[in-house]
Amino acid sequence: MPDRESQIEHRKSRVVIAGAGPAGSSLAIRLAKAGFEVVLIEREKFPRHKLCGEFVSPECIRHFNDLGVGGQMLDAAGDRIVATNFYSQSGRSVSVPSEWLGGDSALGISRDVMDATLIEEARRAGAEVFEETSLVEVERDGDRVGQLSVRTADGSRRTIGGDLFVDATGRSCVLANLVRRKISGRSGTVHPERRYIGFKAHLENVDLEPGVCEIYLFDGGYGGLNFVGNGVANHCFLVTSETFKAAGSVSCLLDEVVYRNPRARKAMENSRPLFDWLAVSVGRFGRKELTPTANLFTVGDSAAFIDPFTGSGMLLALESAELLADAIVGGHDIGAVYTRTYEARFAGRLRVSGLLRGAASWPRAASGLIASLSASRSILRRIARATRGERRRTSRTT
């Protein structure tokens, strides 16, 4: 039976989106172009650096074209990445061509440029965009979301009402967690079994071949390196919190943990960071709730966090936003339609990525996996494809 609560009056509705990463901004563009009244709230002032591997999977280019920013993204790309090479700590390696993932090349794009381009396009498409505006509280209307309370750059508070609300705040799921506490009385905090810490900096003077992304596996984590422009490379790595505690500082982590992978040492031992290392805590991987209430939906990392070594988090963000936009434009039983299409598109790849993460977290297993995959290109190709969805060349929401 259709969920009447999640039907909306087509195109007269006001959609409020919290978070302007690739999921929130791309959803705002699609819905604004489809004629909806869209409000987009973002805590930061763009451009801003964002912790990420900055490997933009080839399939994202189709989304950028749909969104009207394809040319700008290609111009902004600091590298066209034709292969990703994985190196184990024991020195074994395996190469995955980008064409297996669904396009000729992936892009190396700095998130400060990419995210600023998308939020600007959302503004141009007609969305009302508030930067430096943080979602801090939610007002309920029965068992639905009534309005959001936000804090603006000058410290004042205001409320924003709407018909539909979208949590695009990333892994922190700020809106969904507020709603769980306020409306369903459940705790919004999840205690993961294991915590990771991610680090990122742009480096100059790396020893890396253009056109290649390198992934280094080491005891306690893994990291990636690819160019993002003007000879500058992005280094982003993830370690367990115990590994970080034992090392005590980023420079010790690099020397004693990351550089135990010989290829990582060779690539970066003479490099220099161009800004202070960014660090974030990374908790739970995998699925979260898609429709916490009848008029609230989650997209991007707020809906599911896929393992970063797949280099497909931004793709998931863009794809899930497209699915939700299609469901909202359809206007009937939005929650059920979104859930069904989301499951069909992502369940398999989230499962495969989880299994690969399990193997990658054991250095001997990772080394064995890399050795056996380097011997079988067809299995390697099937696994690489399994971290992605069906190949789709065309489709427009707007």
The residue ranges that bind ligand FAD (CB under 6 A) are 18-24, 41-44, 51-55, 57, 134-135, 168-170, 172, 174, 198, 236, 238, 282, 300-302, 308, 311-315, 317
Cα 28 to Cα 148: distance, rounded to the nearest angstrom:
17
Least gap, CB of 167 to ligand FAD (angstroms): 9
Select 145 or 333, whichever has its Cβ closest to ligand FAD: 145
| Cis peptide, bond prior to residue 47, ω within 30 of zero | yes
Copy the structure tokens of residue 317.
Answer: 């963000």
Cα 228 to Cα 82: distance, rounded to the nearest angstrom:
14
Select 54 or 322, whichever has its Cβ closest to ligand FAD: 54
Least gap, CB of 378 to ligand FAD (angstroms): 25
Residue type, 328: I
Contact 94, 373 (CB under 8 A): yes
Select 68 or 368, whichever has its Cβ closest to ligand FAD: 68
Contact 186, 199 (CB under 8 A): no
Least gap, CB of 376 to ligand FAD (angstroms): 25
Select 81 or 327, whichever has its Cβ closest to ligand FAD: 81
Select 140 or 332, whichever has its Cβ closest to ligand FAD: 140
Least gap, CB of 317 to ligand FAD (angstroms): 4
Copy the structure tokens of residue 204.
Answer: 């100059």
Least gap, CB of 142 to ligand FAD (angstroms): 24
Cα 64 to Cα 66: distance, rounded to the nearest angstrom:
5
Least gap, CB of 107 to ligand FAD (angstroms): 10
Select 84 or 333, whichever has its Cβ closest to ligand FAD: 84
